[in-house]
């Protein structure tokens, strides 16, 4: 039987156990995301109230509902809310007569630091694109009879008392 007389060896074993626990937690979380993704036929926000939402999440839900109403008034059809993938989340999915539109909703109480629209960083844009690619086959089958529609990425930005709709705010570079 090994006794940990060497402090470095004891620390090594503690660190290894922490890594195993972190890996287990990561696998569990990944499985939960995959299970939610597989259950696409269910409402995409099913179970939203199963876990208590933080104040920040509740505020985000409120702005997403306001954005939904705003887009409906502009004759868009809201298809999905809060679609998750292993890469991230897209707040709203909508369509107009021909386009499939992936929408990020942002809010800021002031225009400092560039405002709400500017908060959609290149990293967030990459996550949006990867999440859209993840869901595109299922969305195409479900809402466009399997025919790939033109797609675009919009941002709805709430700043103080104003709403900005930035159409085609995120572009996918074709030159790579």
What phi, psi does 95 have (nearest 5°)?
-145, 150
Give the C-alpha separation, 101 to 45, whole Å.
Answer: 18
User: Is residue 45 pLDDT above 60, yes or no?
Assistant: no
Q: How many residues does the chain have?
A: 176
pLDDT attached to residue 175? 47
Element (H, E) at 86: none
- The proportion of the chain whose per-residue pLDDT surpasses 90, expressed as a percent, equals 43
User: Is residue 109 pLDDT above 80, yes or no?
Assistant: no
Which of 112, 95, 107 is closest to 61 using CA atoms?
107
23-27, 71-75, 125-129: which has the minimum mean pLDDT?
Answer: 23-27
Q: Tokens standing for 95?
A: 């369509």
Give the C-alpha separation, 9 to 5, whole Å.
Answer: 8
Contact 64, 91 (CB under 8 A): yes
Cα distances (angstroms) measured from residue 61 to each of 56, 107, 150, 152, 171: 9, 11, 27, 22, 26
* pLDDT tens for each residue of 4-15: 555 555 666 677
Give the C-alpha separation, 43 to 80, whole Å.
Answer: 8
User: Is residue 104 pLDDT above 50, yes or no?
Assistant: yes
Handedness of CA 37, 43, 49, 55 (dihedral sign): positive
Mean pLDDT of 166-172: 83
Q: Tokens standing for 46?
A: 């099913």
């Amino acid at each position: 039987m090994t006794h940990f007389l060497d402090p470095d060896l004891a620390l090594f074993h503690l660190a290894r156990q922490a890594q195993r626990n972190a890996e287990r937690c990561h696998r569990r979380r990944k499985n939960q995301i995959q299970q939610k993704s597989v259950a696409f036929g269910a409402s995409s926000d099913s179970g939203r109230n199963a876990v208590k939402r933080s104040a920040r999440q509740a505020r985000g839900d409120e702005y997403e509902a306001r954005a939904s109403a705003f887009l409906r008034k502009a004759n868009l059809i809201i298809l999905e809310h809060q679609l998750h993938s292993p890469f991230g989340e897209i707040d709203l999915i909508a369509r107009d007569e021909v386009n499939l539109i992936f929408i990020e909703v942002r809010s800021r109480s002031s225009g400092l630091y560039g405002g709400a629209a500017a908060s959609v960083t290149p990293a967030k844009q990459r996550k949006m694109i990867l999440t859209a690619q993840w869901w595109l086959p299922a969305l195409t089958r479900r809402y466009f009879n399997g025919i790939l529609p033109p797609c675009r990425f919009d941002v709805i930005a709430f700043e103080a008392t104003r709403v900005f709709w930035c159409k085609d705010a995120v572009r996918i570079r074709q030159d790579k």
